[in-house]
């Protein structure tokens, strides 16, 4: 009896993947995958359509300044007097502020509170409004995005409630923000960014807004405020030195005028008198006058030097690319959003199909056991 040469099938090992079984499982659940893609695609289409437009205004600048040693030199006898007043005369040079710290200025509370007052123009409004008023009274969140992506935030805010505390930031009082101010500050942090290149010393400031003109206005105001904050920090020591010398100069100028008047009046009254007491008094007044005059002259020189030092320490911002009104929107990129959601739908659908298969296998093993 002839024997048949049958080739035994090789059993699939536990650690090997049965591609044919995977393909069969996928084909069986293809409707689920297609349905998932359609659902996610519709969601992505709605988000792409109703997403707010975004325009970006950018400026590139290079800050430069003299941070070398102070050229004022020692003020001689004024040094001790300045130290008693708590001011270091020889520390007239500008403070060294690393460019890496510049983004911290943009995120600081005083800076952001001041920037919230920026007047912005919008096409839908007849008059300019502040950044704060726009995002608290006019700009409403998209309901689709609010109750889909932003739903967790809505729930958390509902649980915490609304804080109606007022802002108290005058003088030395502590600053206490309301819930609206905290929300607007968070929005501002997301819309404003500063990229620092420490090696090249280049600052790139970007401002994002729903409209092109508003983005340019916000970026322009942020640039001005940032320059102001940096300049104030850089020259604070030199400015303190200048203020101290100015006060001493004003006081000495009054004393000099008084000593000059006393000496002139004494000489007028005793023009033809040759008494020894008169000569002694004249010499005393002359010595007093010369002493005050010497101090007055020295302070006048130091005052001019202090003014020059303030100018030297004041950084100059070279604007390579000024703020301009953007002509094209940066967001939303609707095709990309739609493709991302379609991809997520496919991944979710495949996950559901193979998840069901895996759970079915576990359930069968549980039943057999």
User: What was the pLDDT predicted at 319?
Assistant: 86
Residue 218 pLDDT level (bands cut at 50, 70, 90) = very high
Write the burial class of residue 367 (CB in 10 Å: 0-12 exposed, 13-18 middle, 19+ buried): exposed
- 3-state SS track over 57-123: EEEEEEEECCCCCCCCCCCCCHHHHHHHCCCCCCCCCCCCCCHHHHHHHHCCHHHHHHHCCCEECCC
Does residue 246 share a domain with residue 176? no
353 domain residue, yes or no: no
Distance CA(76)–CA(299), nearest Å, equals 11
Does residue 226 share a domain with residue 205? yes
Does residue 248 share a domain with residue 187? no
46 domain residue, yes or no: no
pTM, two decimal places? 0.60
367 domain residue, yes or no: no
pLDDT per residue over 312-346, tens digit each? 888 888 888 888 888 887 676 677 777 888 888 88
Tell me what percent of the residues of the chain surpass a pLDDT of 90: 21
Give the torsion through C-alpha atoms of 108, 114, 115, 121, to 10 deg: 170
Distance CA(187)–CA(132), nearest Å, equals 10
Cα distances from 32 to residues 76, 113, 348, in angstroms, run: 88, 51, 10
Does residue 148 share a domain with residue 278? no
User: What was the pLDDT predicted at 71?
Assistant: 37
User: What was the pLDDT predicted at 164?
Assistant: 47
Task: For the chain, give the mean pLDDT.
Answer: 77
For residues 222 and 207, is the Cβ–Cβ distance under 8 A? yes
Does residue 162 share a domain with residue 56? yes
Domain count of the fold of the chain:
2
Distance CA(94)–CA(97), nearest Å, equals 9
Residue 283 pLDDT level (bands cut at 50, 70, 90) = confident
12 domain residue, yes or no: no
Residue 362 pLDDT level (bands cut at 50, 70, 90) = confident
Does residue 109 share a domain with residue 249? no
User: What was the pLDDT predicted at 87?
Assistant: 45
Does residue 273 share a domain with residue 185? no
65 domain residue, yes or no: yes
Look up the domain containing 309 and give its range: 240-313
Least confident of 197-201, 245-249, 298-302: 197-201
Distance CA(203)–CA(59), nearest Å, equals 8
Does residue 247 share a domain with residue 178? no
Does residue 88 share a domain with residue 173? yes
Write the burial class of residue 98 (CB in 10 Å: 0-12 exposed, 13-18 middle, 19+ buried): exposed
Distance CA(195)–CA(113), nearest Å, equals 21
Whether the predicted pLDDT of 15 surpasses 80:
no
User: What was the pLDDT predicted at 155?
Assistant: 62
User: What was the pLDDT predicted at 172?
Assistant: 57
Neighbour count for residue 195 (Cβ, 10 Å):
13
Q: Which two tokens stand for residue 33?
A: 């995958």
Q: At what angle are helices 276-313 and 236-269 packed, to 10 degrees?
A: 160
Q: At what angle are helices 236-269 and 212-234 packed, to 10 degrees?
A: 50
Distance CA(195)–CA(107), nearest Å, equals 13
Whether the predicted pLDDT of 35 surpasses 90:
no
Does residue 224 share a domain with residue 207? yes
100 domain residue, yes or no: yes
Does residue 222 share a domain with residue 110? yes
Does residue 288 share a domain with residue 181? no
Residue 219 pLDDT level (bands cut at 50, 70, 90) = very high
- Of 258, 248, 237, 244, the closest CA to residue 297 belongs to 248
Give the residue ranges of DSSP H helices in 7-63. Answer: 19-28, 30-50
9 domain residue, yes or no: no
Residue 103 pLDDT level (bands cut at 50, 70, 90) = confident
Tell me what percent of the residues of the chain surpass a pLDDT of 70: 74
Least confident of 28-42, 50-64, 79-93, 204-218: 79-93
Distance CA(283)–CA(291), nearest Å, equals 12
- Of 325, 319, 326, the closest CA to residue 60 belongs to 319
Residue 76's region, left for phi above 0, alpha for psi from -120 to 50, else beta, is left
Write the burial class of residue 365 (CB in 10 Å: 0-12 exposed, 13-18 middle, 19+ buried): exposed
Q: Burial code of 261-290, b = ≥16 C-beta within 10 A, e = fewer?
A: eebeebeeeeeeeeeeeeeeeeeebeeebe
266 domain residue, yes or no: yes
């Amino acid at each position: 009896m002839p024997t048949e040469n049958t080739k035994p099938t090789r059993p699939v090992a536990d650690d090997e993947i049965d591609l044919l079984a995977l393909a069969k499982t996928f084909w069986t659940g293809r409707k689920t995958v297609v349905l998932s893609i359609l659902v996610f695609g519709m969601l992505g289409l709605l988000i792409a359509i109703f997403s707010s437009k975004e325009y970006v205004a950018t400026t590139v600048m290079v800050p430069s300044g003299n941070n070398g040693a102070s050229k004022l030199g020692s003020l001689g006898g004024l040094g001790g007097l300045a130290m008693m007043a708590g001011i270091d005369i020889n520390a007239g040079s500008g403070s060294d502020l690393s460019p890496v710290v510049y983004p911290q200025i943009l995120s600081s509370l005083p800076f952001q509170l001041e920037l919230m007052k920026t007047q912005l123009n919008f096409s839908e409004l007849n008059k300019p409004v502040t950044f704060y008023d726009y995002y608290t009274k006019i700009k409403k969140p998209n309901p689709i995005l609010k109750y889909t992506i932003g739903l967790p935030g809505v729930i958390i805010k509902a649980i915490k409630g609304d804080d109606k505390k007022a802002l108290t930031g005058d003088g030395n009082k502590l600053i206490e923000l309301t819930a609206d101010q905290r929300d607007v500050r968070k929005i501002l942090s997301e819309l404003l960014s500063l990229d620092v290149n420490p090696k090249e010393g280049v600052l790139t400031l970007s401002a994002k807004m729903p409209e092109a003109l508003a983005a340019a206005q916000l970026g322009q105001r942020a640039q001005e405020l940032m320059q102001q904050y940096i300049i104030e920090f850089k020259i604070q020591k030199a400015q303190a030195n200048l203020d101290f010398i100015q006060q001493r100069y004003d006081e000495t100028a009054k004393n000099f005028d008084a000593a000059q008047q006393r000496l002139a009046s004494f000489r007028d009254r005793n023009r033809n008198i040759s008494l020894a007491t008169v000569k002694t008094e004249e010499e005393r007044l002359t010595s007093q006058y010369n002493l005050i005059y010497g101090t007055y002259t020295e302070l006048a020189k130091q005052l001019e030097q202090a003014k020059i030092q303030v100018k030297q320490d004041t950084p100059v911002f070279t604007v390579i690319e000024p703020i301009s009104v953007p002509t094209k929107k940066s967001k939303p990129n609707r095709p990309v959003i739609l493709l991302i959601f379609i991809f997520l739908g496919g991944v979710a659908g495949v996950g559901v199909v193979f998840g069901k298969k895996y759970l079915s296998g576990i359930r069968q093993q549980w039943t057999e056991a």
